[in-house]
Amino acid sequence: MTRGEIKALARAWLDDDSGGYFTDAIMDRFINQAQREAQKCLIRAGENFYTKCVETSTVADQRDYALPTDFMKLLRLERITQGSGDTASTERLHPLTTNEIDVSGYQNGSSGDSYNYVVNQSTFALYPVPNSVKVLRLTYVYRVGDMSSDGDTPDVPVDYHEYMAILAARDGFLRDGRSIAPIERKLMYYDDLFRENAESRTLDSPRQIVSTTDGFGSI
């Protein structure tokens, strides 16, 4: 469905087909909010719809680098060690906490090939600070963009377009102070669907062994 079709469906549930009360400005805001909420639910369910991969080059003696403007969550940060494209050899960088930075001694101004990173609000920092130009590959979850016209199609799988209309209608009911009972059953249906998808992804994933140490070797 397009944004216009989702809007019409939400208005039908709100008994305002002509949009006399729930204007385009109000409904467009509700629908864009619904798209962001649907994305969050799909991410929580383990659906891998929202990933991007970008590359950037390090700069000698520069620690901080800007994250993409649509960045939501980092999945993997790698340094390309040889080649390029899909056949490139890479080395994965690992996240650090603030305490680990202090313990590791990175605050002392060490430089070299970076093996760790910290994600901040709009940047990520590399440790040690790079001392040469290297290509980094960033795989991340991106934030869906707002739709700007009624002809736009949401960045959500078609099976969940109705869910967006339901969420927009729910916001309308809440704005009026009305009960959401007319759409509650549909909301419960989609909640169950997201839960089932998440459980299915968990069942399909391989068993994992976590290796730890207690000072006497690996357990």
Backbone angles phi, psi at 100, to 5 degrees: -65, -30
Position 208 confidence tier, pLDDT thresholds 50, 70, 90: very low
CB-CB contact of 94 with 80 (8 Å):
no
pLDDT at 201: 54
Report strand pairing: 94-95 vs 116-119. Answer: parallel
pLDDT tens sequence across 104-162: 656 666 788 889 999 998 999 999 899 999 999 999 999 999 999 999 999 999 999 99
What is the rounded distance in angstroms from the CA atom of residue 58 to the CA atom of residue 109?
Answer: 17
Higher pLDDT among residues 84 and 74, named by residue: 74
Burial (CB count <10 Å: 0-12, 13-18, 19+), residue 94: exposed
What DSSP element (H or E) covers 190?
A: helix 181-204
Would you state the structure tokens that stand for residue 124, as one six-digit string? 């990520």
Domain residue spans of the chain:
3-47+148-202, 51-142
